[in-house]
Copies of this chain bind each other. A is one copy, B any other.
Amino acid sequence: MKPPVTDHLSQDCRAVSEILARVGDKWSVLIIMRLSDGPKRFSRLQQMIGNISHKMLSTTLRGLERDGLVTRTVHPTVPPQVEYSLTELGHDLTVPVNALGEWALRNQDKIRAARAQFDARQEFEVKAS
């Protein structure tokens, strides 16, 4: 009647996974990073990020807003201006995300090296056919 620790760990992992699904998609982090130093308008974000399509910026922002990570403020001017900014929750998130980011920066060389080595080995084994 007493489930092992593995069980609750399992649930934790699901939760983590769910959040990572939000954070790990192609654009969320890029957007959050850009907003971390202040509110930005839609078009400003698009030009800052570069190669994000109109649609995905819109979609991703909507998702982030839904999760309470960013705020959407419409200024009823003509033409309309919409500002996005991080909520407190969103700002909070930048801390662990930055930690992961720093890890990525520190270790990107190792990863690239590992990939190169792995790929080289693959090629070698193919020759042995």
Chain A residues within 8 Å of B, Cβ to Cβ: 6, 9-10, 12-13, 15-21, 23-26, 29-30, 33-34, 48, 50, 65-69, 89, 92-93, 95-97, 99-105, 107-108, 110-111, 113-115, 117-119
Please report the C-alpha to C-alpha distance between residue A26 and residue B113 in the assembled complex, in whole angstroms.
24
In whole angstroms, what is the CA distance A66 to B102 when docked? 21
Cβ contacts under 8 Å, A21 to chain B: 24, 26
Summarize A's interface: helix, strand, loop or mixed. Answer: helix
Query: A10 to chain B: closest CB distance in Å?
Result: 8
| B contact residues around A111 at 8 Å (CB) | 19, 67-68, 89
Chain B min CB distance to A32 (Å): 10
Within 8 Å by CB of A29, from B13, B67, B105, lies B13
Complex: A13 Cα to B15 Cα, angstroms: 24
A103–B26 CA distance with the chains assembled, in angstroms:
20
Q: Which residue of B lies closest to A24 (CB)?
A: B24
B16 touches A29 (CB 8 A): yes
Bound complex: CA A113 to CA B9 (Å): 23
Output the least CB separation between A42 and chain B (Å): 18
